[in-house]
Amino acid sequence: MYNVMQYFLKYLVRNPPATLRILVLLFAILAYGTTGFLYFELSANPDVTWLDGLWYTVVTMTTVGYGDFFPKTTGGRFLIGWPVMAFGIGLLGYALSLIAAAFITSKTKEMKGMASFSLRDHIVFFNFPGVSKILSLINELFLDPSIGSHTSVVIVDDGLDELPAELVKLGVHYVRGNPVRDETLTRACVDQARHAVVLSRDNTTASDSLNVTIALAIEGRIHKVNTVVEIIDPASEELLKKVGCDKIVCTSRFGAHFLSQELLNPGVQEVIQDLLSVKGGQQFYFIEIRQKRTFSELSDKCRQSGHIVLGAATGSGIRLNVTEKLDLKPGDRIITIGPSRIEYL
C-alpha cells in the first residue's frame, strides 16, 4: 500500500503526464464554464439548461462562437466568458502542440529506424548497399503480380542514419539495429515475413561473413520464411547451404559468366537482361504442377498461353530439353519463357 501511494504521489500528483494534465484542465474549464453560465444566466433566462451551458463553454473554448447562447449579465460576461476564452484557447493550443509534437516524434523515429511495426507477409531486406540497388530490387518485385505493390518492405541495417527520401515515397519501413539480434528481428516482424533477402554491403568477400551470420540468425529463429542470400565468394555457398538458406546468389560467379558469354556471343547481355527484368519483354517462369502429366501435355498447355517450355525442375534438380514422355508429378515445376506468369498447371 505504501508503494502504491508513493507511485501515486510521484507520477500522478507531483509530475503528472501531459495527457492527464490536459484532461484535468479540460474538465475544470468545462465545469467552471457550465456551472458559472447557469448561475449568472438562469435568472435572466429560465429556459437555460445544463446542456446549454456546456454547449456555450465548448463553442467559446474552440473560438467558434455561433452566438446561439451567450451571457447577457455582467457577471456572466466578465467572470465566466472572459476566463473561458483565455484559458480555453490556451488549453486548446497546448493540446494541439502536444499532438503535433507526437506526430513529429513518431515520424522522426520511423525515419531514423527506431520505430516498431506490425506487418505480415512482407519482404525484409538486410543491409543497405545503396539507394539505386534497393530501388531497382523493389521496383522489379512490385511489377510481378505474385508480389505486387501492396506488399510492405522493411530494410534492416545498423549503419544507415536516415531512410532516403526515394524510399520514403515508396512507403518503405526502416529498422535500425544489429541484424543478428532477436530484438532487431522482432521489430522487423521477421516471424511474419514472407521473404528475407540478405544483401552484400559491398563487393568484398568480407561482407560474406556478416551475411552468413544474419542467415544463421534468421534460420535459427524461423524456417518458414523464404531466405535468399547474396554472396561474393563462392566458397561461402556450402556454409550457407548447411545453415538452411532457401536460395544463394553468388554475384561474382554470374559476373564471370556474363563476361565470358559476351565475349563469345556478343549480345547475350541484352538477352539476359530482358529475361531477368520484369519491366517488359519475356521472363523466366517456374510454373507449379498440381496433377500428374507428361512433359508433352504440359508443353502444349504452355504454348496455348504464349510460353516456350525449356525444361522441368524436379526433385533431382533442373533438367533442360527433356524428352516429351517424361512424367511429372505434383510438386514439380515447368520452366518456361513467357510474357506473364501462369500460376499453376
Torsion 122-127-133-134 (CA) sign: positive
Reported as a pLDDT band with limits 50, 70 and 90, residue 282 is: confident
**Confidence band (pLDDT; 50, 70, 90) for 178?**
very high
Rounded percentage of the chain residues whose pLDDT exceeds 90? 25
The pLDDT score that the predictor gives to residue 334 is 87
Query: Residue 18's pLDDT band (boundaries 50, 70, 90)?
Result: confident
Q: Which range, of 23-27, 60-64, 139-143, 250-254, averages the lowest pLDDT?
A: 250-254
Mean pLDDT confidence for 2-23 = 66
Average pLDDT of span 143-163: 88
Question: Residue range 49-70: average pLDDT?
Answer: 86
Residue 342: what pLDDT? 79
- Does residue 213 carry a pLDDT above 80? yes
173 or 4: which leads in pLDDT? 173
Distance CA 80, CA 147 (A): 61
How sure is the predictor about 14, in pLDDT bands with cuts at 50, 70 and 90?
Answer: low
Between vectors from CA 240 to CA 256 and to CA 334, what angle results, nearest 5°? 70
Per-residue pLDDT band at 4 (split at 50, 70, 90): low
The whole-number pLDDT of residue 125 equals 96
**2-11, 169-178, 331-340, range with the lowest pLDDT:** 2-11
Cα 304 to Cα 233, 260, 301, 334, 338: the distances in Å are 42, 35, 5, 14, 11
Domains of the chain: 2-111 (1.10.287.70), 123-254 (3.40.50.720), 282-345 (3.30.70)
pLDDT tier for residue 123 given thresholds of 50, 70 and 90: very high
Give pLDDT, residue 260. Answer: 82
pLDDT of residue 8: 54
More confident residue, 76 or 276: 76
User: Is pLDDT of 218 > 70?
Assistant: yes
Distance between CA 45 and CA 65 in Å, rounded?
19
Statement: residue 115 has pLDDT above 90: no
Mean pLDDT of 14-27: 80
pLDDT at 1: 59
Angle at 36 (CA atoms; ends 33, 37), nearest 5 degrees: 80
Amino acid 31: pLDDT = 93
Going by C-alpha positions, the residue among 174, 205, 206 that lies closest to residue 188 is 174
Better-predicted residue by pLDDT, 258 or 303: 303
pLDDT reported for residue 252? 78
pLDDT for the residue 315: 81
**Residue 234 falls in which region: left (phi positive, over 0), alpha (psi -120 to 50) or beta:** alpha
pLDDT at 12: 57
Strands (E), the chain: 123-126, 153-157, 173-176, 195-198, 226-231, 247-250, 283-288, 293-294, 308-314, 317-320, 327-328, 333-338
* CA–CA–CA angle 336, 270, 229 (5° rounding): 65
